[in-house]
Amino acid sequence: MAQKFKIVDYTTKYGSIMQFNRNKNTYIHGWYPFVEGYSKQFILSIIDEYKNINSCLPSLCLEPFCGSGTTPLELQKLGIECKSFEVSPFMYNLAKVKLTNSYTVESFNKYYTKIKEYLNNPVENICALVNLNASKRIVEKDGLDKWNFDKDTMNGILDIKYSISKFNNSKYERLFTIALASILLEISNVYRNGKCISYKKKWKEQHITRKEVHEKFLVKLKEVFLPDIKLINTYKKNQKLLSNNNECYLGDVRKNLNKRVDDDSIDLVITSPPYLNSRDYTDTYMIELRLLDYLKNDDDVKNLRKNTIRSHVQVKWNKSNNIGIKTLNNSIENLKKHESDFWNKGLINMIEGYFEDMSILFDILYKKVKKDGLIFFNVANSAYHNIEIKTDEIIAEIAEKSGFTVIEIREARRINPSSQQKENIPFLRESVIVIKKVSTSTKLCI
């Protein structure tokens, strides 16, 4: 069958820049070791391309799935305005902290000294002073066979939380909380293992003391955060710095985009939605979300899950609507043949729901993007029960249904499927779909 969309090999250009780890030591991006993001070089390559086409920079950009804030942060460094949306309060706070550029070295040092003094002489029974609002496995206790943090390690964390809460300055409280977030997994007994949290090998032999927690935190502040704050202060002396902080919004983008963004105002969208891989970010970031009080109770967790894109089965979704895309319907028909073997009965509803969400998003985007505006949409294909779901091609069809023109699908990387799928599906394509809102006059010429 003839290919509907042009698929172009971009593995040489994109292969090494689609992953966040390129930025782990980079100015501000390096404040938190994020896994599910792309690198600043990806943003820079798109801006170069935009400049070559339009002979100018975009005036206003949009990032519907802000995550750790890579897109609005890199754009603000280039002086480009960007509106962004994020549903997870942890990611949202992480992005906001990185987008704030009003920190001063003087204030940073004031709070650093304050916390250092406190940590030299912490309260003996700290766990009685600080509320621990997390799962029962969060800390070592009699009767548990596994726990996320040893008791002494947790005391170190609670010391830091307690002293941050005494700052009386929300800006630096947020900043220092992100510094704490950035060391949490390293000092825990677990690691993020794709969809879930797993225990580290030999975790029972590793013990991080209360004092070591304090030291790691202070080193992070001094060696990673402070040098960047010094740089912000130097840059500020020479030029007025743009901040995209006030245009980063918390909540479900499907509900907020219409309210927050004017029609026909966006020149360029750069984004990467959650992939259709049944990974629930609420699960994988539960330690940060609960331990740092971004979510207070189980109802908050449930509400957050309900507001995420339907890419997982951690909550029961309402029945999804069929959006009438042939490629999708063919995959669903094939999948139905394996329905009795499904590890979760909600899989088909999730897959249909995911694409319904994409359809809702593209309908709104069509109103918001200017004529000749561009979208760079980074996704990856998925596989369930040896059936490949060509997410990129289905989203391309959805974009065209909403009125856009798909320029091409760029193959960025080849991802290994899980071992059960490998025999029939040697690799899954990760791609960047390049989409344009073609003006009516141009359309007539095609």
Q: Which residues bind ligand SAM (CB under 6 A)?
A: 20, 34, 36-38, 65, 67-68, 70-71, 85-88, 91, 252-254, 272-274, 281, 307-309
Q: Which is nearer to ligand SAM, 98 or 216 (CB)?
A: 98
* Number of Cβ within a 10 Å radius of residue 95: 28
Q: For ligand SAM, which is the closer residue by CB, 58 or 89?
A: 89
For every residue of 267-314, DSSP letters joined together read: EEEEE-PPPSS---HHHHTHHHHHHTTSS-SHHHHHHHHHHS-S---S
Q: Residue ranges of the alpha helices (H) in 1-150?
A: 11-14, 40-54, 70-77, 89-99, 105-120
In the complex, minimum distance from the CB of residue 314 to ligand SAM, in angstroms, rounded to a whole number: 12
Residue 215 or 252 having the CB closest to ligand SAM: 252
Q: Which is nearer to ligand SAM, 111 or 285 (CB)?
A: 285
Residues 6+ apart with CB under 8 A from 410: 7, 8, 9, 10, 14, 431, 432, 433, 434
Phi, psi of 392 (to 5 degrees): -65, -45
For the stretch 388-394, contacts whose Cβ atoms lie closer than 8 Å and that sit 24 or more positions apart, written own/partner, are: 388/331, 388/425, 388/428, 389/276, 389/328, 389/331, 389/351, 390/327, 390/331, 390/429, 391/275, 391/276, 392/429, 392/431, 392/433, 393/4, 393/5, 393/327, 394/325, 394/327, 394/328, 394/331, 394/355, 394/358
**CB 205, min distance to ligand SAM, A:** 33
Q: Identify the CA nearest to 168 among candidates 107, 229, 88, 224.
A: 107
CB 98 to ligand SAM: min, Å: 10
- Minimum distance from residue 37 beta carbon to ligand SAM (Å): 2
Q: Name which of 41 and 334 has its Cβ closer to ligand SAM.
A: 41
Q: Quick one: tokens of 413?
A: 């990387």
Nearer to ligand SAM, 24 or 230 (CB): 24
CB of 387 to ligand SAM, least distance (A): 23
CB under 8 Å to 275, separation ≥6 — which residues?
311, 379, 380, 382, 391
Least Å distance between CB 108 and ligand SAM? 24
C-beta closer to ligand SAM: residue 14 or 38: 38
Alpha carbon distance 316, 117 (integer Å)? 48
Minimum distance, C-beta of residue 163 to ligand SAM, in the bound complex (Å):
29
Q: Which residue lies nearer to ligand SAM by CB, 226 or 250?
A: 250
* Min dist. Cβ of residue 271 to ligand SAM (A): 7
Name the residue nearer to ligand SAM (CB basis): 64 or 122: 64
Query: Cβ 64 to ligand SAM, closest distance in Å?
Result: 6
The two structure tokens encoding residue 79: 């002086």
Counting Cβ atoms within 10 Å, is residue 71 exposed (0-12), middle (13-18) or buried (19+)? buried
